[in-house]
A = this chain, B = another copy of it.
Amino acid sequence: MRPSGRAANELRPVSLEVDCNRYAEGSCLAKFGHTHVICTASVEESVPGWMKGSGRGWITAEYGMLPRSTGSRTGREAARGKQSGRTQEIQRLIGRSLRSVVDLTGFGERQIRIDCDVIQADGGTRTAAITGAYVALYRAFQLMQEMKAIGAIPFTDQVAAISCGIYQGSAVLDLDYDEDSAAETDANFVLTASGKVVEVQATAEEAPFPRAELDAMMALAEEGVGQLAQRQREALGVA
């Protein structure tokens, strides 16, 4: 029995609210239960110096948490003067995940910056961030298309992410904070709507685990990402 009462393969209530920010070219407030993440996509009309003349664009991501997004207050990274290793890991993951499903030659020599800011955190912030960032980026591409800046929307696939874990010996989907703290194993899956792998990160929290458990978590993740991809399409109003 999960603390939340959910079935092993049951997502938390998911909501993807597009255009939550009036300035960003694309934005989405992603909620996975009590985990709330504001995702924005900001389009800049130039690329970093090392890419000039390449004919390709670039997508990069930054991630942050409001100090009191967490149960007890976390020190503000801007005040400490540096981003934690965890923050950097997550923002690199978000950037890679999006770039893997975009044709970088398809939107000119532009840089798109994704910002994922966690307003409230109850586990799974990186997976909500990736799932919402896809939507924000899609909205930005739609705007660019509308403005005739690009022809087609340069996504080559659709991406979303979900966590799984081994909780009291069983694989479960979409861990909240209580489950995450108690899980024996924790894994994050970034998958495409078509079932391909973008990124898998599985970590033994307490002790090494048998490969069968990885397979069980992967199966749950495929199911979960399928549902998330459906929510993304609904939020975007695309088939």
Residues of A at under 8 Å CB distance from B? 21-24, 27, 34, 38, 40, 42, 44, 62, 64, 66-73, 76-79, 81-89, 91-92, 96, 100-101, 113, 115, 117, 119-120, 156-157, 159, 187, 191-192, 194-204, 206-211, 213-214, 218
Q: Tell me the nearest residue of chain B to A78, going by C-beta.
A: B77
**Nearest CB on B from A214, distance (A):** 6
Residues of B within 8 A of A200 (CB): 187, 200-202, 214
Q: Is the CB of A22 within 8 A of B34?
A: yes
Residues of B within 8 A of A196 (CB): 204, 208-211
Q: Tell me the nearest residue of chain B to A83, going by C-beta.
A: B78
Q: Is the CB of B78 within 8 A of A89?
A: no
Q: In the complex, A213→B11 CA distance in Å?
A: 27
Q: In the complex, A203→B96 CA distance in Å?
A: 8
Q: Tell me the nearest residue of chain B to A213, going by C-beta.
A: B197
Sample of 24 A–B contacts (CB below 8 Å)? A40-B67, A44-B73, A64-B66, A66-B115, A68-B115, A73-B113, A78-B82, A85-B92, A96-B203, A96-B204, A100-B206, A119-B119, A157-B208, A187-B200, A195-B210, A196-B204, A196-B211, A197-B202, A197-B213, A198-B203, A199-B204, A200-B201, A200-B202, A200-B214
